[in-house]
Amino acid sequence: MGIFNRLFGSRKEEKLPPLDLSTLKIDMHSHLIPGIDDGSRSMDETIAMLAKFESLGFKKVITTPHIMSDYYKNTPDIILGGLEKVREAAKQIGLKIEVDAAAEYYFDETLLERLKRKEKLLTFDGNRVLFEFSMMSKPDQIEQLLFELLTQNYKPVLAHFERYTYYFGSVEKAKEWREKGIDIQLNLNSLTGHYGPQVRQQAERLVESGQIDFVASDCHRIEHLMIMERNLHLPSFHKVLDLDLKNKQLN
């Protein structure tokens, strides 16, 4: 420890009161249907997560299982069938939180094909489509994908922009896409350092520049909710909830 710190003590980061997550009302990105992707592994885990969401003040969760051609070959029937089982289990133990479902579409070779066939995608809030890219390798034909989504009257929501390594250091692409009608979603745990320091820095850039439309838990395990809860005092959490987020407009 240096002389300055010995004399004056180390400087502590300002600690704000814990944020009230009930102001968000709805979490629109999670993986709660048991056994169909890399999220919940059992109904017991699902119920524990839903109870935690409820205790944190959420009124509703829109769970969004992965649809990926190579790994998670989910269909609307699989997802909606799983949703009914989750709703029934939650009702049996008296949880009041509302549960709905959409999907998180991975941009692989099949997503453009689905759109070209005019296959109906699983959406939330009418016609919002949650989609994601590869974290490490920038995909080809991004602009074509966005064009297809917009011309078919979908409202695209790009999941966790801050985690795409090829956009680190800049939020210009997020700004450009938002101007075209694509919404940007941020994972709240990105602000805690859970995904690493570079993701945290990129998340903070998005917050400071206001280039965010939705925030979400992207909850796969109850530990994700517990990490959020432990970090509700962070200034970045307070800043992000001061933004005009679209979570509050969802039904």
pLDDT in tens, 229-245: 999 999 999 999 999 99
Predicted confidence (pLDDT) at residue 7 exceeds the cutoff of 60: no
**What confidence score (pLDDT) does residue 4 get?**
41
**What confidence score (pLDDT) does residue 5 get?**
47
Integer Cα distance of 133 and 127 in angstroms: 20
* Out of 1-15, 84-98, 99-113, 169-183, least confident range: 1-15
**What confidence score (pLDDT) does residue 11 get?**
40
- Determine the average pLDDT of the residues in 68-77: 93
**What confidence score (pLDDT) does residue 13 get?**
55
Tell me the domains of the chain and their CATH numbers: 16-249 (3.20.20.140)
In 3D space, the residue among 71, 98, 78, 76 whose CA is nearest the CA of residue 87 turns out to be 98
Q: What are phi and psi of 26, to 5 degrees?
A: -130, 135
In 3D space, the residue among 145, 162, 60, 72 whose CA is nearest the CA of residue 109 turns out to be 145
pTM of the predicted model, to two decimals?
0.93
Integer Cα distance of 117 and 119 in angstroms: 5
Provide, rounded to the nearest whole percent, the portion of the chain with pLDDT above 70.
94
Provide, rounded to the nearest whole percent, the portion of the chain with pLDDT above 90.
89
Tokens standing for 156? 């695209």
Q: What are phi and psi of 43, to 5 degrees?
A: -65, -35
Are 158 and 183 spatial neighbours (Cβ–Cβ below 8 Å)? Answer: yes
Integer Cα distance of 44 and 55 in angstroms: 17
